[in-house]
Amino acid sequence: MEIVADEVISSRTGSDSDGDKGFVVTPWVVKGQLDYAKLVEQFGTTPISKEILERFKKITGEIHPFLRRGIFYSHRDLDWILDRYEAGEEFFLYTGRGPTGNVHLGHLIPWIFTKYLQDKFGAELYFQFTDDERFLYSPKETLENTKKTAYDNLLDLIALGFDPKKTFVFLDTDYMETMYPIAASIAKHVTLSSARSIFGFENSTNIGMIFFPTIEAATCFLPCILKGKNIPCLIPAAIDQDPYWRGVAREVAPKLGYYKPAQIHGKFMPGLGQGGKMSASQPETAIFTTDSPKTVEKKVLSSFTGGRATVEQQRRLGAQADICPVYHYFYFLFEQDDSELGRIYNDCTSGTLLCGDCKLLLAERVKEYVIRHQEKREKARQLVDDFIVSDVRGGLRKKSGLS
């Protein structure tokens, strides 16, 4: 699983209007200038409607900025999840990460949203580190390293404030006695030809990768199996993971007697370069949670912007907020107040706010955020045992007090 994939993103491929060819979104490659309306169409999902936002408001008393601003924009069966919830049936959350390297802000987006869902709905979270898949996918990667990375990434997750009583984190390779029988039960219903058509596997693909989708899909049913009852599942994640859910978990669920997992899809936070999502493979345009304040400042101040060639032009024409990562950083994470955000947008596009000042403002906020996050991240080192489950530790059953 790679909620935000880390492949090289070239700047726009093809022309702006060449939407279909201008981007690629698969579980392993996300590149190009993403057109989210086209993604909804391509993946056959449903945009989040005003009605759904109203239902969120009714239930939670608010609409999270990520929802208001369309950062979470698409879903599958989210209305059904709300139906079940309103009928008194708890659901669980499932998300995860392929531990490839340091966590950046783009990775935090779905986790922050997941934390909000946990808080508002009292939902348990099952968080899967797919250390096996990262190992199988990357020729040079070792299992020791992906495991080490997972434990390091876990600090970022804990730093966000998840409820340890309701959050169950596991590494695939530490939890396979529990996961494999579920994965095998799924695999029995997935033919090679389906897997090839869903994931585009080639003759050169290794057979670990071919089996892996069943392990990522297995978590959709894990709590049901452990608790011996059907429980609705909601997966907050980027849409690139959709083949696992639509192609595998949702197809197989009825055959195993479980609910189909529902999904809510987030947008990718952009990098600080021109176009494309934030990516660990372009570290100069990504803010890592472990970056020093000085590095953060330097990266933000070096950001591409939607500014004009000269101050005079910018004063006259205004800057282009819509293509500006600096503006989008406020939009995603660093200005929660809509009217303040509107002011930044207006000042930018009217030419009142110049890019230098805007970047300084953002740099301060990102620095503050990262410093605070790093403090919590350090404290998280003491909390790992409260979150992790594994077969050796007696697993989820033990942690949940299940017999």
Torsion angle of alpha carbons 189, 193, 194, 197, nearest 10°? 170
- Residue pair 307/355 in contact (Cβ under 8 Å)? The answer is yes
Q: Contact between 201 and its own copies (CB under 8 A)?
A: yes
Residue ranges in 116-135 that form contacts with its own copies under rule CB under 8 A? 132, 135
Q: Contact between 256 and its own copies (CB under 8 A)?
A: no
Q: Contact between 258 and its own copies (CB under 8 A)?
A: no
Residue ranges in 211-250 that form contacts with its own copies under rule CB under 8 A? 211, 213-214
Instruction: Give me the least distance between CB of 223 and its own copies, in Å please.
Output: 19
Q: How far apart are the first and last CA of the chain?
A: 30
Q: Contact between 195 and its own copies (CB under 8 A)?
A: yes
> If binding means CB under 8 A, how many residues of this protein chain bind its own copies?
41
Position among 10, 206, 336, 346 found at the interface with its own copies (CB under 8 A): 206
Instruction: Give me the least distance between CB of 130 and its own copies, in Å please.
Output: 11
Q: Contact between 168 and its own copies (CB under 8 A)?
A: no
Among the listed residues 266, 290, 235, the one whose alpha carbon sits nearest the alpha carbon of residue 25: 266
Q: Which amino acid is at 343?
A: R
* Closer residue to its own copies (CB): 19 or 213: 213
Q: Contact between 191 and its own copies (CB under 8 A)?
A: yes
Q: Contact between 207 and its own copies (CB under 8 A)?
A: yes
Q: Contact between 185 and its own copies (CB under 8 A)?
A: yes
Angle at 80 between CA 76 and CA 85, to 5 degrees: 130
C-alpha pair distances (Å), 375 with each of 148, 290, 295, 363: 20, 11, 17, 18
The partner residues of 234 in beta bridges, in order of sequence, read 93, 262
Phi, psi (deg, nearest 5) at residue 208: -70, -45
Question: CA-CA distance, 88 to 227, in Å (whole number)?
Answer: 17
Instruction: Give me the least distance between CB of 93 and its own copies, in Å please.
Output: 25
What are the residues binding its own copies (CB under 8 A)?
132, 135-136, 143, 172-177, 179-181, 183-185, 187-193, 195-196, 201-211, 213-214, 390-392
